[in-house]
Amino acid sequence: MAEQLYQATTSDAATFEKALTTPALRMQLERTLNRQLSDDTLTAMASHARAEADYWASYRAGIDKMIGAQYPGAEGRRAPGRPAPPVPGVEPVVNPEALPPPQPFEEGGNMPVQDRWRILDALGRGENPLDPYNTNTLKADKPVFGDDWFVNVGAIADTIYQPARDPTGVGAQYTARPAENNTFGKYGRTQILETDILEFALIKGDTAFKPPDFELRITPAFNYNYTTAGEIGVLNVNPAKGQTRSDQFVGLQEGFIDYHIRNVSEYYDFDSIRVGIQPFNADFRGFLFQDNQLGVRLFGDRDANRWQYNFAYFQRLEKDTNSGLNDLGQAVRRDGIFVANLFRQDTPVPGFTSQVIDLYNWNREGGEFYYDKNGFLIRPAQIGDDRGYNYDVNYLGYNGDGHFGRVNLTVSSYWEFGHQSHNQFGAPGNSGATIGGFFAAAEPSIDFDWMRFRLSGLIASGADNPQSGHIGGFDSPFENPQFAGADTSFWIRQSIPLIGGGGVALNTENGVLADLRSSKGQGQSNFDNPGVILAGVGGDFDLLPELRLATNFNHLDFYNTTTLEFLRHQADIPNDIGWDLSTALTYRPLFSQNIVLRLSGGILIPGDGTKALFNTNGGAALFNTGGFLYSVMANVIFTY
Amino acid sequence: MSGRSPRLFTHPAFRAAMAVLSVWCMAPGGCGGGGGGSSGTGVSTTGVSTSAATDPAAPVNGAPPSLTESDVNTIMLQAVHEATARGKPATIAVVDRVGNVLSLTQMPGAPGMATITSGRGNNTGLENVSVPTPLAAIAKALTGAYLSSNGNAFSTRTANQIIQQHFDPGVTDTPGGPLFGVQFSQLPCSDFNTIASGTAGATNGGPHRSPLGFSADAGGLPVYKNGILAGGIGVMTEATYSDNLNPLTSSGSAGSFDDEVIALAGSTGYQAPPALDANNIAVNGLTLQYTDATSANFAAPVAATGTFTPLPLTGFFTGPAAGHTAIAGLTYGSSDGASGVAPDGALGPMLYPGTVNTSYVFTDGAGHVLYAPTNGLVPAGQAITAAEAQALMTSVLNTAYVTRAAIRIPTNTFAQVTATIVDLDGNIVAQARTPDAPVFGADVSRQKARTAAFFSRTDAAAKVSAITASASNTSGTFAQYISDSRSLTGDSNVFADGLAWSEVSVGDIARPFYPDGIDGNPPGSLSLPINLWSVFSTGIQLDLIKQDFVNALTGVPTPAAGCATSNGLGLPPTASGGKTQLANGMQIFSGGAPIYRGNTLVGAIGISGDGIQQDSLISFIGLQNFVDPQAGTPISNAPLAIRSDTLSPGGVNLRYVNCPAAPFLNSSVQNPC
């Protein structure tokens, strides 16, 4: 490239010099450039071209020096997966006309610049409210009133079609059809979910580098859901309600005021307080608590964002049963979460952020009987003696996210300890139990050009003696793990009911823990659970810039099946849950998040534990219920 | 799992390290083996005699596992002592495993009569009937003894939990208890249960009748001798005989907590091994309740001091021998057959040589086997033959021996049940049991078989409608049960069109809500609206035997035709056997199915003793696996096309069979039925 530019500019200089003495050539140039060319002009042009040629010559020479003979013709490009070229002590080539690059953390020297919208207004640039990419007042590009009051409006339409084949129980007394004589019936559940989200934000302050002084955000969400199941009594407690259910709900997913208390440095390190329904993720991957809940959160950073902190309290809202959205029409839950965490960038190595956290969850729902919208008792969960419990549980954790050299790494670890007022499985003297569990997860990955390969490992402890005064299972207040394929995976996406073992599920939707809860959104934590061990490999392949293929092969085991054996009154249930194989194709036709089409599918090849719990061997009677379990999800998201 | 590991292996750090290691274990088949040890569910099995599951009469420590006179006196005195200390004069009964009353007393000041009340405010059925408290105490003691075994210890509190309109009681919109209706079993009118010996100081073969059926009033516990089930104790201190409507949130709120504490004090030294407590047993994930009382509730340290005066009671307790205060109990299942139950083959040729374990048969207590396989009487020419009965019973018992028990500790032991095969008129063709089946199932299996046979008959509707005794429903007539069934099912010829009714299906329409458990709905057609319903007023089930119940209280002898005659206003005796078709009452929960020869109804089978799904499975699979030993059309389950599950009242199909998950010990099959 440099060589071509050198030759072109050298040739130009020669042409201009020749035109000084060749009238025909000068006339040709004047016609081409459509102006008169004086001798001075031609001389200046020749001189300029010569200077450019010199520049490219020295540039070329610099490159040659740097590359040397080792990479002839490589033109200095680096390829992923190959060692970087040696860097000799060569004077960098400097464009004499270039501005010096900005220096990090330079004291002073800031030059006031006009607001960007005034620059654009001066250029006479118009706007289209429907175009989020160019200047748009609705996207907080220009103030709506005053000098610094902005609005930001967003909209998301999310449509999901999700057929799945998961274990489905025949009603205890009534059936959907004659001759259903067994416990396991016609497997399967199909869902159509439409969620439409509107975001309104009113922001005071610049929206670029300086954090806003004030923000008011309201995000209502509308959900319509339609579900069919293979059996009756599954979608509603009343079997006469049949095999289908449709429901809709409007919930408030965000509704907060964010007040910027102060800046503490000229790098806009700040303290801020946010009050109201707000999104919060306690760690990097949503292992412990990721939700939009009602809370008060003090947060900020220090040392040019190298330290970040959160102090927060969340008073949990009731969720709507079928949409999972926040239901402000019901009393808040008697459940709250205190959380404090501290992030440190570039620790222990540059590119890796470490975090320590303490999260405390109290729950006082032991005295109530709470039924969900479908009529099922979910607090207390219908297991054990049906007598409720309160609990206090603490999570002390370390999390990390970033990369060590070329290896990307996420790690998470928690130590859980606390007390539960009563053990539903029955503890000596019925006097409650201590809680003590642990959780650890790691996901290293490495990129090779357009491919990323992952290893995933996760362990959550399970209870080894459900009736003792010490409960050893790990459960989270509200997990939403982005891990091991996340909702592509069958296990993480599908909730598998513990048929014949009470009103709980092995795992929750969008959850990796095998925590035997009645409901993820509305149930209490259950520490009397079998725990889970996950080990997997995966890969992401950017087949095209707009097309990504992701795959995950995970193997799952229970940590300890004693709780399952107790609830099912069935000894010797093996730990092996099985292989969870999944893949997802994500297509972004506009190369952006504005239109995302996603098709994913996961299958569970049952292991001996799953086979001991559910019918996976093929039905002897009415249905061929053999084979694997699967789940498919087609998802279209439009975002404004 | 119960053993202690070296400290290193239990140290959290070590476990965490092992856990991290195991994350990387990715071999197909997974990282783990089984989750449980021999104890399976983590429940300690300390003190549980597994050999007693197959030989419940085997001596322990050189003594038979039955209550001696001294044992009975100790239990009685301990109870009297605690009652005295509490200031709650009590009526106390102790029975053996087959229901002989071994001692009975009424302390001075104890109420002599109790009013039956559920506290629901209704006035139907047996509500507000007054009964002598000694009868209530005996019923409690029998309930504790009969519901329990060497694999499970159940109490009257357990009974209360499993017979209400919801399970768990108090949880709305959940189906009725798994043993819904079992309170009306072991009835005084039963043609099965025996009457107490008329000789003072003597016991006789059982299982004996209970004066009030089963009790749901706390204060009845089983008693164990050296860890082996030997009988039960029942205590009454109050003037009400009730149930507990909200057992989840209260401890003794029904007012019977004193009874339970006194019973617990009395049974001190004779308690069930803790591992057998009902609260170690999860039924569909829900654990059962045993007792809310603990030794901490005792008003005084347990002591077998003081005295008490035995109280004879006609028909139930002739009293101890002169100069004694108690009688020794019988050893259940001893080979002499004295208890009314004996090992098959001990008193003659083996009746079921093809069973994989030694099964048990019933006796008259005097050395003679009862209910050996015999030819059915009806329908003429098509009746079940003795050979078929023997082969079918063998198949059924062998099915039980491979069925995973739902209510026994340790887990992964076989189900223990009683099976009864009846002919079309409910005459017994064969009756036998596994060694350690709870005693209650003997009578209940008969009820289930007879109920299934009766309601599958083409003249069932006519027979019910013809009953002129009064009913508890809104019109006061039995005919309404039939007309309501026609309306509910949409089958204008129901109970007359030859449809095969299993016990599951009968139960489906015999609950105070339809579908079962859905609050606010009208009742099933064989039941009553919730404002008329209680555990003392269950609809057609009680109405059929209500007169018999009252007769027993007033000393009117049981007619030879058995239950359901209603003093001549009920079912007439059959021409074949001289009894009514429901000669020990009707039962309305899972575990029975009619038997067909081709399309002809020839009888029924009833199973009782383990979980209701297991009972249902054993009857169904027992018939399915049965190979008819004789030529011609074999007997079998009902043809698919004529089963009651072809009906869909209210848009939901009735269930015909309800087979459990992972039912077998020797197979991983999940859906066998």
Q: Which residues of A touch B248 (CB under 8 A)?
A: 385-387
Min Cα–Cα distance to chain B from A175, Å: 5
Q: How far apart are CA B312 and CA B9, in angstroms?
A: 61
Interchain contact B157–A (C-beta under 8 A): no
Is residue A325 over pLDDT 80?
yes
A178–B515 C-beta distance less than 8 A: no
In chain B, residues 554-583 whose CB comes closer than 8 Å to chain A: none
Beta carbon pairs, A and B, within 8 Å: 290
Interface of B with A in 117-136 (CB under 8 A): none
Return the bridge partners of A605, or none. Answer: A579
Task: Give the span between the Cα atoms of B342 and A117, in whole angstroms.
Answer: 99
From chain B, pick out residues whose CB is under 8 angstroms from the CB of A535. 23-26, 31
Q: For chain A, what is the mean pLDDT? A: 89
CA distance A539 to chain B (A): 17
B-chain CB neighbours of A467 within 8 Å are 42-43, 280
CA distance A132 to chain B (A): 46
Residues of B in contact with A377 (CB under 8 A): 171-172, 174
Mind telling me how many Å the CA of A542 is from chain B's nearest CA? 27
Per residue, the 3-state secondary structure of A189-214, as one string, reads EEEEEEEEEEEEEEEECCCCCCCCCE
For chain B, domains (ranges, CATH) are 51-297 (3.30.450.150), 352-456+588-638 (3.30.450.150)
- Band (pLDDT 50/70/90 cuts) for residue A92 is low
Phi and psi at residue B597, in whole multiples of 5°? -115, 105
Binned at pLDDT 50, 70 and 90, residue A131 comes out as confident
B655 touches chain A (CB under 8 A): yes
Q: Considering only CB atoms, which chain A residues are within 8 Å of B284?
A: 172, 500-502
DSSP B567: G
pLDDT along chain B (673 residues), means of 10: 38 41 34 36 75 94 95 98 97 98 98 94 93 97 98 96 95 96 96 95 96 95 97 97 81 71 98 94 94 92 96 95 97 96 96 97 97 97 97 98 96 96 98 98 98 98 97 97 97 96 98 97 97 97 96 86 95 96 97 97 98 96 95 96 97 96 92 92
Q: What is the pLDDT of residue A429?
A: 63
In this structure, of A93-97, A220-224, A614-618, the range with the lowest mean pLDDT score is A93-97
Question: Scanning every residue of chain A, which has its alpha carbon at the shortest distance from the alpha carbon of B612?
Answer: A172
Q: Give strand ranges (E) for B413-513.
A: 418-423, 428-433
Run of H or E including B414? none
- Residues in B touching A244 (Cβ below 8 Å): none
A280 vs A36, higher pLDDT: A280
Type and span of the H or E element at B14: helix B12-23
Q: Which of residues 293-312 of B touch A (CB under 8 A)?
A: 294
State yes or no: pLDDT of A357 exceeds 80: yes
Asked if A503 lies within 8 A of B25 by C-beta distance, the reply is no
Nearest chain A alpha carbon to B639: A179
Domain ranges across chain A: 2-67, 149-639
Nearest to B671 among A182, A383, A461 (CB): A182
CB B163 within 8 A of CB B179: yes
- From the list B32, B175, B285, the residue facing A567 with the nearest CB is B285
pLDDT score at B246: 81
Global pTM value: 0.88
DSSP assignments along A499-533, one per residue: TTS-S-BSS-TT------BS-TTTSPP--SS--EE
Put simply, the chain B residues between 383 and 412 with a CB less than 8 A from any chain A CB are 404-407, 410-412
Q: Residue B1: what pLDDT?
A: 35
Compute the 3-state secondary structure of chain B and give helix, strand, coil in percent, each to the nearest 5: 25, 15, 60
Chain A environment of B168 (Cβ under 8 Å): 382, 386
pLDDT recorded at residue B545: 97
Q: For residue A368, give the chain B residue with the closest CA.
A: B249
Q: Per the CB < 8 Å rule, is A573 touching B168? A: no
Among candidates B407, B661, B673 on the partner chain, residue whose Cβ is nearest the Cβ of A568: B661
Out of B411, B646, B656, the one facing A181 most closely (by C-beta) is: B656
Q: Is the pLDDT of residue A110 over 80?
A: no
For residue range A453-481, what is the model confidence (pLDDT) as tens digits? 999 999 999 999 888 899 999 999 999 99
Quote the pLDDT of residue A85. 60
The residue ranking higher by pLDDT, A546 or B249, is A546
Whether B658 has its CB under 8 Å from any CB of chain A: the answer is yes
A184 and B406 within 8 Å at the Cβ level: the answer is no
Nearest to B41 among A174, A565, A620 (CB): A565
Q: Which residues of B touch A564 (CB under 8 A)?
A: 35
Which of A209-223, A271-285, A614-628, B31-45 has the highest average model confidence (pLDDT)?
A: A271-285
Contacts of B661 in chain A (CB under 8 A): 183-184, 499-500, 568, 570, 613-615
Beta bridge partners of A599: A585, A634
- In angstroms, rounded to a whole number, what is the distance separating the alpha carbons of residues A395 and A460? 13
Distance CA B561, CA B538 (A): 23
Q: Which residues of B touch A620 (CB under 8 A)?
A: 669, 671-673
Residue among B20, B29, B613 minimizing CB distance to A440: B20
Contacts of A178 in chain B (CB under 8 A): 640, 643, 645-646, 653, 656
The answer to whether the CB atoms of B171 and A557 lie below 8 A apart is no
Chain B nearest CA to A448, separation (Å): 23
User: Which residue of chain B comes nearest to A462, CA vs CA?
Assistant: B35
Beta strand spans in B207-274 (E): 220-225, 228-236, 240-241
Chain B residues with CB under 8 Å of A625 CB are 671
Say what the pLDDT of residue B31 is. 32
Query: Which pLDDT value is given to residue A9?
Result: 81
- For the cut 80, the answer to whether the pLDDT of residue A47 exceeds it is yes
Span between the terminal Cα atoms of chain B, in Å: 34
Interface of B with A in 258-277 (CB under 8 A): none
C-alpha torsion sign, points B225, B228, B231, B232:
positive
With residue B114 as reference, give the H or E element that holds it.
strand B113-116
Return the half-sphere exposure (C-beta side, CA atoms, 13 A cut-off) of residue B59: 4
pLDDT tens, position by position, A165-213: 889 999 989 999 999 999 999 888 999 999 999 999 999 987 666 788 9
Predicted ipTM of the assembly = 0.92
B window 481-540, beta carbon within 8 A of A: 504, 507-508, 515-516, 518
Testing the interface with A: which of B167, B284, B407, B590 to mutate, by most A Cβ within 10 A? B284
The token pair at B197 is: 């010996």
Model confidence band, residue A414 (pLDDT cutoffs 50, 70, 90)? very high
* Chain A touched by B278 (CB under 8 Å): no
B3 shares contact with chain A (CB less than 8 Å): no
Distance, in Å, from the CA atom of B72 to the CA atom of B75, rounded to the nearest integer, reads 5
CATH number among 2.60.40.2140, 3.20.10.10, 3.40.50.11890, 2.40.160.100, domain A149-639 = 2.40.160.100
Q: Check: CB of residue A569 under 8 Å from CB of residue B406.
A: yes
pLDDT digits (tens, 9 = 90+) for A492-530: 999 999 999 999 999 999 999 999 999 999 999 999 999
Cβ–Cβ below 8 Å for A178 and B173: no
B314 in contact with chain A, both atoms CB, cutoff 8 A: no
- HSE-CB for A285 with a 13 A CA cutoff: 27
Mutate to test the interface with B, among A569, A608, A617 (most CBs of B within 10 A): A569
B173 in reach of chain A (CB within 8 A): yes
Q: Tell me whether B467 touches chain A (CB under 8 Å).
A: no
Residue A619 has pLDDT above 60, yes or no: no
The residue among B242 and A75 whose pLDDT is bigger is B242
